[in-house]
Amino acid sequence: MSVRMKPSFEDLLSIRARITREGVTPTRSATSRYEFGRGAPDPASFPYDELVEATARVMKAEGAEAMTYGEPQGYLGLRELICYKYELFEKFTVDPANILMTNGSGHALGLAFSAVVDLDDWVICESPTFPGAVNHLLRHGAKVLDAPVDREGIVTSAVRERLAALKQQGRRCKVIYTIPNFQNPSGPTMSLQRRKELVSLASEFETMIVEDDAYGELRFEGEPLPSLYELDQSGRVVRTGTLSKILGAGTRLGWLCAPREMIPIVQRFNFGGGVSPFMSRVATYY
């Protein structure tokens, strides 16, 4: 009987893999009634029959083409629809060239972080915030500073303090990560004044903002405020979106909305023949 040897790959692991192994992997309690670590939509709310119908229409209209590798930037029809959605609901114009399809918004966040954050880089995150984003930043070896959240969203005076302190030490913040709409897990929506202040801070201190908009379409009342991406005039904001909360978490369709010049840079980290070209068609036809 052969003896299985202990794997000898430990000394080959990358720095990021070692950080991951040393970190804490969050687990869900089997007895928990509610889970606040992520937004988990109710599967019963999704349009099953309509998606079945949309799938049939895709196969009838596009046939074998629907089953091929996709465009590196994502299915054009869905990118055009996302742009139309922004214009319809938020009254701002963006081009399909600014959209990169991803495997959910979590993937979009990961691509943005990978393009900007290096080992020992400083980042600022809301506290509390989505732990998946923080864990991803920690795997990159980032040093995370927290900024509190109140009824108006991230406290921009605290962000300024963090940025100024780093600058005084000869250091620089690479990324400010924020969830401006229905913040996870605390709930508030960032006020217009705070949005303008945060965009101004990014320009003043020459840092990026990653705007996580996973929840913006879960609105029951009121009108949407301008996004940080829309308010930005210096090309320092990238914005993520997703269909996970409104069409189905299992669709795994999200996107990154970024300055056109940044799309090819982020796209280098996104290989594999295009993201979900078949499911992108189904979502578009639906």
Note the pLDDT tens digit of each residue in 178-201. Answer: 999 999 999 999 999 999 999 999
How far lies 218's CA from each of 98, 102, 242, in Å? 23, 20, 11
Spatial separation of the C-alpha atoms in residues 140 and 146, rounded to whole Å: 17
Residue 213 sits at the vertex; the CA angle it makes with 105 and 108, to the nearest 5 degrees, is 25
Q: Is 125 helix (H, G, I), strand (E, B) or coil?
A: strand
Spatial separation of the C-alpha atoms in residues 79 and 73, rounded to whole Å: 9
What residues contact 104, with CB distance under 8 A and at least 6 apart? 242, 244, 249, 252, 253, 254
The mean pLDDT value for 161-179 works out to 96
pLDDT given for residue 248 in this prediction? 82
Question: By C-alpha distance, which of 141, 97, 119 is closest to 256?
Answer: 97
Locate tokens 């400010």: which residue? 176
User: 23: pLDDT confidence band, cut at 50, 70 and 90?
Assistant: very low
Question: By C-alpha distance, which of 166, 110, 108 is closest to 134?
Answer: 110
User: 24: pLDDT confidence band, cut at 50, 70 and 90?
Assistant: very low
Q: For the domain made up of 44-285, give the CATH fold.
A: Aspartate Aminotransferase; domain 2 (3.40.640)
pLDDT at 134 over 50: yes
Tell me the chain's radius of gyration from C-alpha atoms.
20
Spatial separation of the C-alpha atoms in residues 280 and 31, rounded to whole Å: 36
Every domain of the chain and the residues it spans: 44-285
pLDDT at 1 over 70: no
pLDDT tens-digit map of 81-133: 999 999 999 999 999 999 999 998 999 999 999 999 999 999 999 999 998 89
pLDDT given for residue 14 in this prediction? 76
pLDDT at 28 over 60: no
How far lies 224's CA from each of 132, 189, 218, 241, in Å? 25, 10, 11, 15
